[in-house]
């Protein structure tokens, strides 16, 4: 890291970038890279989408900060109404914050107030953030928690179905994980103590591992039976990343609370939780808040982002590029035993390598030789994740596949 900058950030590269357009970022030295990180699945409309830039510029000239405790600015309600139109039913009421961790923590605060119950159940391999509460809910890698004890109590961790790791098929993994969930409620914390069950429908940091629909549906049924709130963390998987606006649409589940961030505003720091009005009404006035939540520039960026994402053909394009990417990667898997699996919906694609030790070298060769930026994921660091802007072209996908093929260890 550079002088005067804290060295605590993990850095995937030492590139210094000065601008970004679409899927391309340009360094201070003038070199262009294909950015298949999207700044960790954030710039879904591409870097500096003209409509988003224009909305930010216009809003910056009107109001930079209009704090919600003091007055409601004129984009807050339009954004909430727009979100009500694109989030799964019956979610229609929203609270805004700045980051995914704050939003996830807000969901837990709402769940505790609304139910009067103390505990939360989360799943192995999850990443929910770096605040104290969300660290306690994060088990994707111990480095995120190490050295921060004592973490808040009341968090219980159930297995996430992982057929590949468990050496079984998906249906059996779902049975095993639901059985373990039931045992947790039987032996560790009773549903009468559990405010919320919080899950990422596709594990993000945990390795781009989708939860099978039957698992999510089984959890939802258990939440209803035990009067536990079903909280779905779509911070990474939301806003078109999985090929539909939210990944919940693909499993037909109805979350009580939906957690959103990252793709919501194309990179402007904004996050939100959504819940049905009657649930949100159980959050006592003043029980939560924040200085910057619902920032007007963030709201302008979010409204512009949603307009881009909902334009005719946009998500069809993202789905087609996801299919193209998965097809290309599956072909590579067929010819190269270094690849153990290709998985994930839409443009949230994970490539599992047989040997985690090869991952840093592959990513470096992609960057240095292929001018392609990728990141790793997975509890063992054995996954390379592909999360390009959703505006990626077929030519860019082909170029990225060629760079990746050249960077793989030879079969
Ligand atoms: C699923 C999920 N939840 C929560 C977070 C935390 O979001 P933030 O880094 O904005 O606090 C992340 C970040 O990667 C995430 O992927």
Tell me if 17-48+314-407 shares its fold with 51-309: no
Residue 103 C-alpha to ligand 1 middle, in angstroms?
Answer: 9
Tens digits of per-residue pLDDT, 273-308? 999 999 999 999 999 999 999 999 999 999 999 999
Ligand 1: nearest atom to the Cα of 261: 10
Q: What is the 3-state secondary structure (H, E, C) of the chain?
A: CCCCCCCCCCCCCCCCEEEEEECEEEECCCCEEEECCHHHHCCCCCECCHHHHHHHHHHHHHCCCCCCCCCCCCCHHHHHHHHHHHCCCCCCEEEEECCHHHHHHHHHHHHHHHHCCCEEEEECCCCCCCCHHHHHCCCCCHHHCCCCCCCCCCEEEECCCCHHHHCCCHHHHHHHHHHHHHHHHHHCCCHHHEEEEEECCEECCCCCEECCHHHHHHHHHHHHHHCCEEEEECCCCCCCCCCCCCCHHHHCCCCCEEEECHHHHCCCCCEEEEECHHHHCCCCCCCCCCCCCCCHHHHHHHHHHHHHHCCCCHHHHHHHHHHHHHHHHHHHHHHCCCEEEEECCCCCEEEEECCHHHHHHHHHHHHHHHCEECEEECCCCCEEEECCCCCCCHHHHHHHHHHHHHHCCCC
Q: Give the residue whose CA is nearest to atom 4 of ligand 1.
A: 128
Residue 271 CA: nearest ligand 1 atom is 10
Predicted confidence (pLDDT) per residue in 1-41, tens digit: 689 999 999 998 899 999 999 999 999 999 999 999 999 99
User: Would you state the pLDDT for residue 2?
Assistant: 85
Is 68 in contact with 79 (CB distance < 8 Å)?
Answer: no
Ligand 1 atom with least separation from CA of 98:
10
Task: Decide whether any atom of ligand 1 lies within 6 Å of the 235 Cβ.
Answer: yes
Lowest mean pLDDT across 6-20, 185-199, 317-331 = 6-20
Mean pLDDT of 167-174: 98
CB 166 within 8 A of CB 179: no
Q: Convert the pLDDT of each residue in 41-85 to its tens digit.
A: 999 999 999 999 999 999 999 999 999 999 999 999 999 999 999
Domain 17-48+314-407 has CATH 3.20.20.70: no
Q: Is the CB of 247 under 6 A from ligand 1?
A: no
CATH number of 51-309: 3.40.640.10
Q: Please, which pLDDT band fits residue 144 given cuts at 50, 70 and 90?
A: very high
Q: How many CB atoms lie within 10 A of CB 46?
A: 22
The structural domains of the chain, with segments of one domain joined by +, span 17-48+314-407, 51-309
Q: Is the CB of 178 under 6 A from ligand 1?
A: no
Instruction: Give the residue-averaged pLDDT of 242-271.
Output: 98
What is the 334 CA–ligand 1 centroid distance (Å)?
33
Report the candidate in 380, 376, 381 with the shortest Cα–Cα distance to residue 366: 376
43 lines ligand 1 (CB under 6 A): no
The reported pLDDT for the residue numbered 241 is 98
């Amino acid at each position: 890291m550079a002088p005067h900058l804290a060295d605590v950030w993990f850095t995937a590269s030492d590139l210094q970038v000065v601008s970004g357009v679409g899927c391309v970022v340009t360094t201070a030295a003038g070199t262009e890279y294909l950015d298949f990180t999207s700044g960790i699945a954030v710039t879904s409309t591409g870097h500096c989408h003209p409509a988003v830039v224009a909305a930010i510029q216009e809003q910056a000239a009107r109001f930079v900060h209009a704090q919600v405790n003091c007055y409601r600015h004129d984009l807050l309600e339009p954004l909430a109404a727009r979100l009500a139109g694109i989030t799964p039913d019956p979610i229609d009421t929203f609270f805004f914050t700045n980051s995914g961790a704050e939003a996830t923590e807000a969901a837990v605060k709402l769940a505790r107030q609304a139910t009067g119950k103390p505990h939360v159940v989360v799943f192995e391999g999850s990443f929910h953030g770096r605040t104290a509460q969300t660290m306690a809910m994060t088990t994707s890698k111990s480095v995120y928690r190490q050295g921060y004890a004592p973490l808040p109590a009341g968090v219980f961790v159930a297995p996430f179905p992982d057929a590949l790791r468990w050496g079984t098929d998906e249906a059996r993994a779902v049975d095993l994980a639901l059985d373990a969930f039931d045992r947790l409620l039987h032996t560790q914390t009773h549903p009468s103590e559990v405010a919320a069950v919080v899950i990422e429908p596709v594990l993000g940091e945990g390795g781009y591992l989708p939860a099978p629909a039957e698992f999510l549906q089984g959890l939802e049924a258990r939440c209803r039976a035990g009067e536990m709130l079903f909280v779905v963390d779509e911070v990474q998987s939301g806003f078109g990343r999985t090929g539909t606006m939210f990944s919940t649409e693909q499993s037909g589940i109805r979350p009580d609370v939906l957690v959103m961030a990252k793709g919501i505003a194309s990179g402007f720091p904004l996050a939100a939780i959504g819940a049905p009005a009657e649930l949100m009404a159980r959050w006592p006035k003043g029980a939560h808040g924040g200085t910057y939540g619902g920032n007007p520039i963030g709201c302008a960026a979010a409204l512009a982002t949603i307009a881009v994402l909902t334009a005719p053909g946009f998500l069809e394009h993202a789905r087609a590029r996801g299919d193209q990417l998965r097809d290309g990667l599956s072909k590579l898997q067929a010819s190269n035993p270094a690849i153990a699996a290709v998985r994930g919906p839409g443009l949230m694609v994970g490539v599992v390598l047989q040997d985690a030790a090869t991952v840093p070298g592959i990513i470096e060769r992609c960057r240095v030789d292929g001018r392609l930026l990728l990141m790793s994921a997975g509890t063992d660091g054995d996954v390379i994740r592909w999360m390009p802007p959703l505006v990626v072209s077929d030519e860019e996908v082909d170029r990225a596949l060629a760079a990746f093929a050249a960077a793989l260890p030879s079969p």
